[in-house]
Amino acid sequence: MSSTLTLAPRLDSPAADALARELAEARGAAIRLDAGAVTFCGALTLQLLLSARRQWQADGHPFEMDAPSQDMTDACRLLGVSPEDIGILHETGEPQ
Amino acid sequence: MKGGGADDFRDSFFEECEELLEAMHDGFDQIANETHDSETIHAVFRAVHSIKGGAGAFGLDGLVGFAHHFETALEKVRSGEIEADYEVLELFKHCGDHLSDLVAAARDDEEVAQETAAALGEKLNEVIGFDPSEAEELPDFEPTTLDFGMLDLSAPPLPAGYVIAFTAHPELFGSGNEPLLLFRSLEKLGTLDVTCDSSEVPPLEELDPATCLLSWTLRIETEVDEVTLEEVFEFVEDCCEITITALEPAEGAEPYSLPDLGAEESVPFPEPPAETPDIAEDGDAPAGASEDSGDLGANHGEASADAAPPPAKAPAKQVKDTKEPKEKQEKQRGGGATIRVDLERVDKLINLVGELVIKEAMLSQSIAVLDLPSENDVSTGLESLKQLAGEIQEGVMAIRAQPVKPMFQRMARIVREAASATGKRVHFVTRGEYTEVDKTVIERLVDPLTHMIRNAVDHGLEDTETRIANGKNPEGTVILSAAHRSGRVVIDVSDDGGGINRPRVLEIARDKGLVAEDAELQPSEIDNLLFMPGFSSKAEVSELSGRGVGLDVARSEIQALGGRVAITSTAGEGTTFAISLPLTLAVMEGMVIDVAGQTMVVPITAIQETLQPRTVAIHRIGAQGRVLKNRDSLVPIVDLGASFQFRDEPEDLGDQVLLLIETENDRRCALIVDNIQDQRQVVIKSLETNYRRIDGIAAATILGDGRIALIIDPDSIVRDVSIPSDPTMQLMR
């Protein structure tokens, strides 16, 4: 069983709380995050995604981010976070 | 950057801009008045530079572009390459105005006409001796993001860089800031490489999403100096830890200099960021700088371009250590530590203090009813309480009080614009700009004052030819002054023009039927005709060498503030409008009186003296008119009760009291009241806000017994007084 979570376009600091709750609810199974619509991802949300992936790894479930938008990968680059660390396997918006 | 904390961040930037613009205008004024020193132009440059830096962080490209262009021209003056003569200074002032417009437009999300920036840009190019048409042939040309075609004439880039260690505290996010945006701003300054340490981040179940456990190491290769890098973090310096370390310069290159901002005034100021590296960095031009850049490099001769290379940077420096320019600015402004407080909170406090004063009056009244012995603890305690409440009230009022200076600076701009529009040369002088007045009073005074200032330039001052013909200085003078006088603030707008053309004013007033054909008016009465509604429209007044544009509106606005306007004029010498205003709109000193069974309050500032009718000479004029002889003049007597239609005017004044009141127009009248209760500070409650405007009434207040008392408006009472027409009587003055 796996679930897909579509990320909101604006993932700024105030958005981190809500996303944390959504992620917490999705625990216990594989998850795919759809980051295609993300236009902004701030440091707190990126940290949350890092933390979530660590949680999923610890739980032994897959954690993947699909088709991240350019803004999403840009945020990773500017904040010095490796895309793999938040489950991005392919950096283009095209599914591979 | 919208929403919640981000807005605070933005607001804070725009508040800073206000201060920086004020400092900039100050600098120009000092240069114009020749009261400047060599630091002045640095301060102006810094102000513009800081606005540019902040604007860059918000992506306000239009503002950044113009500020940069402006700053480039300022640099020419700063370096001594060009002289700030009258023309240059005027251009700079206009640029300062436009910069203010751009800031305001950015703040309000509005558009600004590009033409102004383009026109000013061209003029700035002339000042800095830059010809865009030649520019493309220069070998070092590099296109920039600016609209003005500015060139990069600077030296080849220096291989300099920094390592920045950055950790965000929770408050950084709480205040709407975001590392991503800071890093994005940094990226614009050079080649940025970001490394994130996420080792502290726990799995989701242990994470507090509001706490940032990430820390960053940013390596930037850039030509900009450390101060420019620090500016990126200027708004978050209190909620993060940041260490900037200079990297060793590459072999063979001159060390990248950091100007010693704390040193002597000849030391240059840091240069613009690398995204617009148009100007050679002060003192850091490498030995091999091209001939093309020689002229710019030469500017910095006094900045020891040939001197020994500056000392190597300290290996690591906390941001706060290099904040000296700003602190220096603060000191120059005479400001100590300050905090920004939401105006709403201050107003709430003022309201509460107002309530406290009312409650205290009520308590006084209740104690009086108890008929306690004269020396009792309750009364003594209450007296101390009153004193404390008075001090609190004064302190709270002082919070709202602001110097009129920013408003005066706005008026300087009005003068410039009016002077440009009319082709007159105007010397604008301000006095008493640190006079403090209630913030609301200041804000609401802007419009009427604008009217008066425009009027002074447009209609008060003669044109240059006339002035020369009359043997006057071709440059007209407009003086705007503020001072505290008898618990009020007096603001004067004076010009040294031709004075009011009274025969013409009277003629117009007669034509319009505003005065009777045969009316004999005193000069001051003729002058006051200008304030009459319907006296003039702009078209008619422009034919008149007098004045009149919107003055009735200006006067009503001032009256709505509890203020008064008086006008004095001397033919050939000029005209003065004197505005007298209350220091605050919250409380006033008033005389509590009884009239026809009503309790009312008369503002103490209007009362000249109180008289017993029995002891003074009262004359009858005509059927109903009565005048009081007072110090060789005759003053009309008005029954306050009758004027509010509470009663018919009493025949016998034996038991009454006369209040001799005087207005700003030097008009006087004696009010008949039944009894004087007390003189005290009353809390002003607006009738207009809570009910509607009533002629003759300025506001209301709440008395100690909880009843409402109306505060009378002496001006409107005196204005309505019909002047006795007995020709044998001399009119009251």
| Statement: B404-582 belongs to CATH 3.30.565.10 | yes
Mean pLDDT of A72-96: 79
* pLDDT at B628 > cutoff 80: yes
pLDDT of residue B720: 67
Please tell me what DSSP assigns to residue B691: S
Provide the token pair at B294.
Answer: 């020689």
- Beta-carbon pairs below 8 A across chains A and B: 91
pLDDT of residue B80: 78
CA distance B535 to B514: 7
- Chain A residues with CB under 8 Å of B173 CB are 13, 42-44
Q: Which domains does chain A have, with CATH numbers?
A: 2-86 (3.30.750.24)
Interface membership of A47 toward B (CB under 8 Å): yes
pLDDT tens-digit series, residues B120-131: 888 888 877 766
Q: Which three-class secondary structure state does DSSP give residue B685?
A: strand
CB atoms inside a 10 Å sphere around CB B631: 7
Residue B601 in contact with residue B701, Cβ under 8 Å? yes
Q: Minimal Cα distance from B183: which residue of A?
A: A78
Three-state helix/strand/coil letters over B208-249: CCCCCCCEEEEEEEECCCHHHHHHHCHHHHHHEEEEEEECCC
Q: Minimal Cα distance from A12: which residue of B?
A: B178
Residue with the two structure tokens 């009230």: B393
Q: Which of B282-296, B404-418, B703-717 has the highest mean pLDDT?
A: B404-418
* pLDDT at B310 > cutoff 80: no
pLDDT of residue B600: 94
What are the residue ranges of helices labelled H in B79-225?
86-107, 114-127, 132-135, 170-174, 179-187
Provide the shortest C-alpha distance from residue A33 to chain B (in Å): 15
Q: Which three-class secondary structure state does DSSP give residue B552?
A: helix
* CA count, 13 A, side-chain hemisphere, B372: 14
Provide the shortest C-alpha distance from residue A63 to chain B (in Å): 13
Residue B392 in contact with residue B357, Cβ under 8 Å? no
Nearest to A48 among B5, B173, B209 (CB): B209
Least reliable range by pLDDT among B128-132, B210-214, B516-520, B620-624: B128-132
* pLDDT at B82 > cutoff 60: yes
Q: Tell me which of A10, A33, A44, A70 to substitute to probe the interface with B (most B C-beta atoms closer than 10 Å).
A: A44
CA distance B594 to B695: 19
- Chain B residues with CB under 8 Å of A8 CB are none
- Chain B residues with CB under 8 Å of A50 CB are 198, 201
CB-based contact B204 A48, cutoff 8 Å? yes
CB-based contact A51 B212, cutoff 8 Å? no
CA distance B429 to B475: 12
Mode of pairing for the β-strands spanning B633-639 and B436-438: unpaired
Percent of chain B topping pLDDT 90: 12
Q: Tell me, what amino acid is at B439?
A: K
Interface membership of A80 toward B (CB under 8 Å): yes
Q: Tell me, what amino acid is at B89?
A: L
Mean pLDDT of A51-80: 92
* pLDDT at A31 > cutoff 90: yes
Which is nearest to B477 in space by CA: B491, B459, B457, B458?
B457
* pLDDT at B65 > cutoff 80: yes
* pLDDT at B248 > cutoff 80: no
B162, B180, B205, B221, B249 from A79: Cα distances, Å:
17, 6, 23, 17, 26
Q: Tell me, what amino acid is at B138?
A: L
- Chain B residues with CB under 8 Å of A42 CB are 173, 178-180
pLDDT tens-digit series, residues B587-607: 778 899 999 999 999 988 788
- Chain B residues with CB under 8 Å of A79 CB are 179-180, 183, 194, 196, 214, 216
Q: Considering only CA atoms, give the Rg of chain A.
A: 12
* pLDDT at A51 > cutoff 90: yes
Q: What is the DSSP string of B614-640?
A: GGSEEEEETTTEEEEEETTEEEEEEEH
Provide the shortest C-alpha distance from residue A26 to chain B (in Å): 11
A76: left (phi over 0), alpha (psi -120 to 50) or beta: alpha
Q: Which long-range contacts (CB under 8 A, 24 or more apart) does B138-143 make?
A: B138/B292, B139/B292, B140/B290, B140/B292, B140/B293
Residue B174 in contact with residue B5, Cβ under 8 Å? yes
CA distance B322 to B342: 29
pLDDT of residue B328: 41
* pLDDT at B109 > cutoff 60: yes
Where does the pLDDT of residue B665 fall: very low under 50, low under 70, confident under 90, or very high at 90 and above?
A: low
* pLDDT at B689 > cutoff 70: yes
Say what angle helices B4-32 and B405-422 make with each other, to 10 degrees: 60
* pLDDT at A17 > cutoff 50: yes
CB-based contact A14 B4, cutoff 8 Å? yes
Mean pLDDT of B480-494: 87
CATH number for region B587-719: 2.30.30.40
Which is nearest to B550 in space by CA: B534, B563, B526?
B534
For the stretch B250-276, what's the b/e string if a residue is b when 16 or more beta carbons lie within 10 angstroms of its beta carbon? Answer: eeeebbbbbbebeeeeebbbbbbbbbb
Where does the pLDDT of residue A91 fall: very low under 50, low under 70, confident under 90, or very high at 90 and above?
A: low
CA distance B681 to B386: 11
Where does the pLDDT of residue B164 fall: very low under 50, low under 70, confident under 90, or very high at 90 and above?
A: very high
Percent of chain B topping pLDDT 70: 77
- The rounded mean pLDDT for chain B is 75
Which is nearest to B355 in space by CA: B584, B587, B585?
B587
Q: Could you tell me how far CA B122 lies from the centroid of its own chain?
A: 30
pLDDT of residue B73: 85
CB-based contact B204 A17, cutoff 8 Å? no
CB-based contact A23 B204, cutoff 8 Å? yes
H or E stretch at B164: strand B161-168
CA distance B567 to B570: 10
CA distance B90 to B84: 9
- Chain B residues with CB under 8 Å of A26 CB are none
CATH of B4-135, picked from 3.40.718.10, 3.60.15.10, 3.40.50.2000, 1.20.120.160, is 1.20.120.160
Q: Tell me, what amino acid is at B284?
A: D
pLDDT of residue B373: 82
Nearest to A24 among B3, B204, B218 (CB): B204
pLDDT tens-digit series, residues B255-284: 433 333 333 333 333 333 333 333 333 333
* pLDDT at B87 > cutoff 70: yes
Provide the token pair at B351.
Answer: 């309201």
pLDDT tens-digit series, residues B534-579: 775 444 444 333 444 478 888 888 877 778 888 899 988 999 999 9
Interface membership of A50 toward B (CB under 8 Å): yes
CB-based contact B201 A51, cutoff 8 Å? yes
* ipTM value: 0.93
Where does the pLDDT of residue B30 fall: very low under 50, low under 70, confident under 90, or very high at 90 and above?
A: confident
Provide the token pair at B474.
Answer: 């071709």
Where does the pLDDT of residue A20 fall: very low under 50, low under 70, confident under 90, or very high at 90 and above?
A: very high
CA distance B497 to B422: 14
Least reliable range by pLDDT among A4-13, B30-39, B487-496: B30-39
* CA count, 13 A, side-chain hemisphere, B387: 5
User: What residue ranges do the domains of chain B occupy?
Assistant: 4-135, 161-281+306-332, 343-398, 404-582, 587-719
Distance spanning both ends of chain A, measured CA to CA: 22
Nearest to B212 among A41, A47, A75 (CB): A47
Q: Minimal Cα distance from A48: which residue of B?
A: B209
A21, B21, B114, B654 from B95: Cα distances, Å:
52, 11, 13, 68
Provide the shortest C-alpha distance from residue A94 to chain B (in Å): 25
* CA count, 13 A, side-chain hemisphere, B244: 23
pLDDT of residue B251: 46
Mean pLDDT of B482-490: 81
Q: Tell me, what amino acid is at A23?
A: L
Which of B543 and B52 is assigned the larger pLDDT? B52
- Chain A residues with CB under 8 Å of B168 CB are 43
The residues, ordered by sequence, that sit 6+ positions from B481 with a Cβ below 8 Å of its Cβ are: B430, B431, B432, B491, B492, B494
Mode of pairing for the β-strands spanning A30-34 and A63-66: parallel
Least reliable range by pLDDT among B463-467, B474-478, B606-610, B701-705: B701-705
Provide the shortest C-alpha distance from residue B185 to chain A (in Å): 11
pLDDT of residue B160: 67
CA distance B132 to B74: 19
pLDDT tens-digit series, residues B498-526: 898 888 888 888 888 888 887 778 888 88
Provide the token pair at B463.
Answer: 């044109």
Provide the token pair at B726.
Answer: 């007995």
Mean pLDDT of B713-727: 64
Nearest to A55 among B196, B198, B203 (CB): B203
Please tell me what DSSP assigns to residue B582: E
Which of B631 and B324 is assigned the larger pLDDT? B631
Provide the token pair at B99.
Answer: 């910069």
